DNA sequence: CGGGATTTGTTTATTTGCGGCACAAAGTCA
DNA sequence: TGACTTTGTGCCGCAAATAAACAAATCCCG
C-alpha cells in the first residue's frame, strides 16, 4: 500500500519556522558583517518585532553580540549594531595531505583564528599513526582556541582520496585503502581530551574542501557561485560547485577529473587505464616534459616556474603542452557542467601565466554554449584563501549557521 | 553596510508551514497511489488531526478524491481511501524534435491521458511556423483533455538545443538561433484559445525532459535516483540527474556530452572543434562506419540493427567501435559525476545488445571509484517511458505537487 | 452473538510564532 | 526648540500544529 520510493522531506511546524528564521537572521548578520535589527528585518522580510525576538535568542545563545549605536548620519533613532560573535562556537578543520598536515580553527564570522601546520611525509606511514599525529595537532589547536574563548563544535577532516561514509575508500597518493578515518580520528582525539564531550567528526575529499573554501572565503564572496575547481598536485584533484552548492554525486566521489581520457591509447596510468589526464598535466608529467627530475616535488615546480619566467623554451612549451591537454579535458567538463568559471589551484597557480593561454584557447574553441568567449575572465587562478583546512572548518561553521538552535541546545544539554 | 552576495532563502511563517505540509500530504498520497489519512499521518509524521485538516483542503481544491473504505483484513475501523484526483489540474508537455512534434497531457497521478504525434520535418522551417504548428497540436490536446475533465495549468516545451531563459540559444539540428520559444509559443497558443486565461509557458532542453521522464515514470520509480542519461539521435543529447534532481548548471546548459573530445586532432565537427564524440558515436558516424547511407535516418538505424542481428561483422564492428568511444567519454563523465547508473536512449536503445558490452568494458576499466564493477547492471537501456514530452508534462505536474495551494488560488482568482 | 480490543477520523482545548499596531526612545533637520 | 524619522519593544490576534478525548467501525474470541 505504501512504497517509500520517493523520500519526502520532514514535516514543518512552528518549531521548524523558528529554526529557519533563526538561521536566516544569523546568516543575515553574518553576511552583512554589521547590521541592525531593523536592517535585518527589511532584508529578510520579517517584522522588526519578530527579528527582535530572534535576535534576543541569538544573544542568549551567544551567537551574536551587540556593539554600539550606528552613527548613521541619517535621520531617526540610531540602531544597535549587531555582529556575529567572535567567541563561542567555532569550526575545526583538518587537512591531511601528502607531505603536511594543517589544522585550523575558524570562528562563526569566518575568520581564521588558529592555524597549525606540520610538515611531514605521510606516504607509507600507517594511517592510524598519521591520524593520531593529526589528532595531536588538532588537540593543540583546540587549546589555542580555548584561550580565545572559542569552542570547536565539530571537526571536519579533508584528505586526498575517495572518501565516503566516513571512510577513505582509496587514497593512492597516501597508499591508503579502506581506512575508517572518522572512527580512528575520533578515537585518537578522545584519548587526548578525555574530559570533554567527544567532537563529532566528519570527512571529505581534499579538493571538495578546497573548493568550499574558495566559495565561502575566496571567489564566492565576489559572486562566483558556480565553478569547476582544479588542483594540480601529485594527482589532479577536482571539485564542482554549482549555485553555491558542492556537487557530491551519488556516493560522494564526484569531481574526479584526473582520470578523464586524453588519449585512449596513451601511456599507462597508475589507475590501470591508459591516457589519463594525470599522465599529461600532472605534476610529474609536467616536470618530466620540462626535463626536471620529477622526484623533486615542489622544489621542482618552483624551478620550472623560474625557467619559464626566464623564457626557456623547453619549460614554456612543456607547460603549454600540459595546458593544451588540460584545456581539452576541462572544456569537456565545462560542457557537462556549465559552470561560471574554472579555477586553477595547486601547482597550476604558480604556472598560471603560461598555462592559462593554452587552456583558454581550448575552452574558447570547444565550449559549445558559445558563452565562454563572451564575457571573458572565466578562467582564473584560485585565491590563496582556497585551502582545504579552512574549507573543512567552514563546513562546521556552516552547519552552525544553518541551524543555530540545534547547536545551542546540544551545548546546553 | 549590507552586501547581497549570498542570497538568502525566503522567510518562513504560518503560511509556509501550511503550504509545505499540504504538498507533503499530496505527494504522500501520490507516491502511495492509495492511502488513508492515518497512513499518511504516520508516514509524514503529522498528527491525524493535522492530516485531516490538510486532506479536507485538498478535497476542496479537487486534488485528491475519496474512494471507498479499506477492506483491511486487520482489526480496527477501516479508513477511507484517498487517491490523487484523476480529473482537475494537469500538465501539458510539448516535444519539438527534428522530424516530429509530440504533445501529451499527464494528470496529477502521472498517467498519460492524451497523446498526439505529428510527423513532420522541422529542419529549415521558420521557427515561428514550427511553434505555431506545435501550438495547434497543443490546443487540440487541451480540447481532448477537457473532455476528460482535465485542465492543463501550464505548458512545458522541450527542444533539441541549448535553451535558457525561455529562448533557444542555438539548436543546430533544427537550424535555429536565438529563438524566443516561450514568447512565440505563448502567443501562438493564445491566438488559438482566446477565451481562456493564457497558459504559463516554460521550456527546456529535450534531453533534460527525457531524463526527467525517466526519473519520474521510468527507472526512477525503481529507485535509481542518480544517473547520466544519453540519447543518441542526430546529435548526442545528455542530461544528469543527481539524487532525484536535474542538474541544470549555471545557465541551464549542463549535460552537453556530444562535444566531449575523443581525439583532439580528430575529424572536424560542425561545432567547429575537432574530434567530438558526435563524430564517433553519433547516428551519422555509426551508419557511415557500417556502410549505410547516413541520410536514411531512422530507417538506416533499423537496417543497422537488422544487419547486426544477422551477425554481419561490418555492422557489429561499427557498433562496437562507437561503443568503445562512447565508453571512454562516458567513463570520464562518470568520474566527474559519480552517478548510480548510465542510461542509454534514442538509437542506442535498439543497438544496446552490441553496444553495451563495449561501453561497459571501458567503464569497468576507467571508472576510478572502483564501484562500477562491484554491483553490476549500472549501464541500462532507457525505458521507453523516457520520452521528452512526458517529462515536460511532468515538470508542470511536479510544480502543482510542490505547491498545490498556489495553483488552487490561481484557479480561483 | 456480544463484549473487548483496535484502529480511524473528528472535535476541542492548548501552545507557539509571526503580523499588525501602538508607543516610547533617540536621533536629524529646519 | 519643535517637527519629523527611524529604531526597538510590548500587546493582541490569528493561524496551524499538538495533545487528548471521543465516536465510529471493524475484528477477534469466547
Query: Would you say the C-beta of B77 is within 7 Å of strand C?
Result: yes
Å: A236 CA to C26 C1': 59
Pick the CATH number of A14-84 from 1.10.10.10, 3.10.450.50, 3.40.50.150, 3.40.50.11890: 1.10.10.10
Q: For residue B337, give the nearest of A225, A254, A368 by CB distance.
A: A254
Å: A86 CA to C1 C1': 76
Strands of the A162-164 sheet, one edge to the other: A162-164, A167-171, A176-179
Measure in Å the smallest separation between the Cα of B349 and chain A Cα atoms.
22
Q: For residue B24, give the nearest of A11, A28, A260 by CB distance.
A: A11
Beta-carbon separation of A371 and B253 below 8 A: yes
Which pLDDT score is estimated for A116?
Answer: 97
DSSP code at position A221? G
Alpha-carbon distance of B338 to B345, in angstroms, equals: 19
For A99-134, write each residue's pLDDT tens digit.
899 999 999 999 999 999 999 999 989 999 999 999
B386 pLDDT exceeds 70?
Answer: no
Average pLDDT over residues A148-174: 94
A373 pLDDT exceeds 80?
Answer: no
Average pLDDT over residues A325-345: 95
For B303-342, write each residue's pLDDT tens digit.
999 999 999 999 999 999 999 999 999 999 999 999 999 9
- Contacts of residue B259 in chain A, CB cutoff 8 Å? 332, 335, 366, 368
Window 68-97 of A, Cβ < 8 Å to B:
none
Which grid cell is A273?
587505464
Measure in Å the smallest separation between the Cα of B12 and chain A Cα atoms.
5
What is the chain B residue with the closest CA to A364? B273
The larger pLDDT score, comparing residue B2 to residue A195, is at A195
Instruction: Reduce the DSSP state of residue B50 to 3 states and report it.
Output: helix
To test the contact with chain B by mutation, choose from A207, A260, A277 the residue with the greatest count of B C-beta atoms within 10 A, namely: A260
For B219-239, write each residue's pLDDT tens digit.
888 889 999 999 988 889 999
What are the Cα distances from residue B105, in Å, to A9, A123, B45, B89, B156?
A: 28, 60, 33, 10, 11
- Chain D, protein-covered positions (CB within 7 A): 4-11, 14-21, 23-28
Residue nearest to nucleotide C16 (CA to C1'): A14
Where do the structural domains in chain A lie, given as residue ranges?
14-84, 88-208+388-412, 222-381
B1 pLDDT exceeds 50?
Answer: no
Write out the E strands in B257-397. 341-346, 379-381
**Check: CATH 3.40.50.720 for B223-381?**
no
Å: B52 CA to D18 C1': 14
Beta-carbon separation of A39 and B2 below 8 A: yes
**Check: CATH 3.90.850.10 for A222-381?**
no
Measure in Å the smallest separation between the Cα of A72 and chain B Cα atoms.
11
Is the distance from CB of A385 to CB of A218 less than 8 angstroms?
yes
Query: Would you say the C-beta of A409 is within 7 Å of strand C?
Result: no
Pick the CATH number of B88-208+388-412 from 3.30.420.40, 3.30.70.3270, 3.40.50.2300, 3.30.1330.180: 3.30.420.40
**Residues touching nucleic chain D (CB < 7 Å):** A 11-14, 36-39, 48-49, 52, 55-56, 74-80; B 14-15, 17-18, 21, 45-50, 53-54, 69, 71-78
Alpha-carbon distance of B413 to B408, in angstroms, equals: 9
Mean pLDDT estimate for chain B:
91
Which grid cell is B297?
535516418
Is the distance from CB of A230 to CB of A345 less than 8 angstroms?
yes
Query: Would you say the C-beta of A377 is within 7 Å of strand C?
Result: no
To test the contact with chain A by mutation, choose from B261, B326, B339, B402 the residue with the greatest count of A C-beta atoms within 10 A, namely: B261
What is the chain B residue with the closest CA to A237? B336
Å: A211 CA to C20 C1': 45
Instruction: Reduce the DSSP state of residue B311 to 3 states and report it.
Output: coil
For A16-67, write each residue's pLDDT tens digit.
999 999 999 999 999 999 999 999 999 999 999 999 999 999 999 999 999 8
Q: Do domains B88-208+388-412 and B223-381 have the same CATH topology?
A: yes
Amino acid at each position: 500500500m505504501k512504497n517509500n520510493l520517493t523520500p519526502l522531506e520532514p514535516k514543518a511546524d512552528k518549531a521548524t519556522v523558528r529554526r529557519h528564521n533563526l538561521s536566516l537572521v544569523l546568516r543575515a548578520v553574518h553576511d552583512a558583517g554589521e547590521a541592525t535589527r531593523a536592517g535585518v528585518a527589511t532584508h529578510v522580510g520579517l517584522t522588526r518585532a519578530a527579528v527582535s525576538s530572534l535576535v534576543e535568542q541569538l544573544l542568549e545563545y551567544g551567537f551574536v553580540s551587540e556593539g554600539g549605536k550606528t552613527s548613521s548620519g541619517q535621520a531617526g533613532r540610531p540602531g544597535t549594531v549587531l555582529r556575529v560573535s567572535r567567541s563561542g562556537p567555532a569550526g575545526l578543520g583538518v587537512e591531511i595531505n601528502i607531505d603536511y598536515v594543517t589544522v585550523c580553527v575558524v570562528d562563526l564570522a569566518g575568520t581564521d583564528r588558529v592555524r597549525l601546520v606540520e610538515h611531514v611525509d605521510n606516504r607509507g606511514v600507517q594511517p592510524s599513526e598519521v591520524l593520531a599525529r593529526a589528532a595531536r595537532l588538532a588537540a593543540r589547536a583546540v587549546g589555542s582556541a580555548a584561550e580565545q574563548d572559542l569552542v570547536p563544535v565539530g571537526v571536519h577532516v579533508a584528505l586526498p582520496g575517495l572518501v565516503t561514509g566516513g571512510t577513505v575508500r582509496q587514497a593512492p597518493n597516501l597508499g591508503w585503502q579502506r581506512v575508517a578515518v572518522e572512527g580512528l580520528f575520533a578515537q585518537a582525539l578522545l584519548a587526548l581530551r578525555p574530559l570533554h564531550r567527544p567532537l563529532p567528526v566528519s570527512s571529505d575529499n581534499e579538493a571538495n574542501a578546497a573548493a568550499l573554501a574558495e566559495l565561502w572565503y575566496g571567489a564566492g564572496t565576489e559572486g562566483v557561485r558556480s565553478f569547476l575547481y582544479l588542483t594540480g598536485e601529485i594527482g589532479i584533484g577536482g571539485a564542482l560547485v554549482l549555485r553555491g552548492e558542492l556537487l557530491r554525486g551519488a556516493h560522494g566521489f564526484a569531481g574526479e577529473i584526473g582520470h578523464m581520457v586524453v588519449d585512449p591509447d596513451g601511456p599507462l596510468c597508475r589507475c590501470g587505464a591508459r591516457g589519463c589526464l594525470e599522465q599529461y598535466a600532472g605534476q610529474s608529467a609536467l616536470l618530466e616534459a620540462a626535463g626536471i627530475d620529477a622526484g623533486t616535488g615542489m622544489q621542482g615546480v618552483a624551478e620550472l616556474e623560474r625557467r619559464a619566467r626566464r623564457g626557456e623554451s623547453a619549460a614554456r612549451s612543456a607547460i603549454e603542452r600540459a595546458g593544451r591537454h588540460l584545456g581539452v579535458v576541462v572544456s569537456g567538463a565545462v560542457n557537462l557542467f556549465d559552470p561560471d568559471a574554472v579555477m586553477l589551484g595547486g601547482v597550476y597557480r604558480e604556472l598560471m601565466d603560461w598555462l592559462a593561454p593554452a587552456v583558454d584557447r581550448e575552452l574558447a574553441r570547444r565550449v559549445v554554449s558559445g558563452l565562454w568567449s563572451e564575457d571573458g575572465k572565466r578562467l582564473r587562478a584560485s585565491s590563496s584563501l582556497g585551502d582545504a583546512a579552512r574549507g573543512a572548518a567552514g563546513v562546521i561553521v556552516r552547519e552552525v549557521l544553518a541551524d543555530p538552535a540545534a547547536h545551542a541546545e546540544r551545548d546546553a544539554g
